[in-house]
Structure 1
Amino acid sequence: MMDFDNAGREAYEVANDVVVGSVDRLVAVWDGEGGSKAGTGTVVELARERGVPVDVVWLEGAARG
């Protein structure tokens, strides 16, 4: 359990760290575009830095809503 009363930047960064620390492989549904700190791109980057294999899934023709 994480000690955060509200979702925010720091909480997301800690959550990303916990997720990456607990997986053998990360599968990310991501368009490959940058975004805010602690978003999908950040967790993908963190996983790659730590040597966790990453599979990025984004269907051709898919678009953000």
Structure 2
Amino acid sequence: METESPRSSPEHPVSINMLSSTDIAYWCRVFDVDMTELRRAVQQVGPQAQSVRGYLARQPGARG
């Protein structure tokens, strides 16, 4: 019997789906932020990964 392994990346890697726990976990790892920081970024600039990346880079104490 085969078991389906969970996806480790989002279905649409250019957009962040904040209703998907898989997407949230993936993007938190990519951006090295917690869920609160990710949610705040998406609320500020929308769900496009490139916009979120730019927003997070401009924040005080930005990582990498």
Give the TM-score normalised by the residue count of structure 1: 0.31
Name the structure where strand makes up a greater proportion of residues: 1
Q: Which has the higher contact order (CA 8 A, sep 6+)?
A: 1
Name the structure where helix makes up a greater proportion of residues: 2
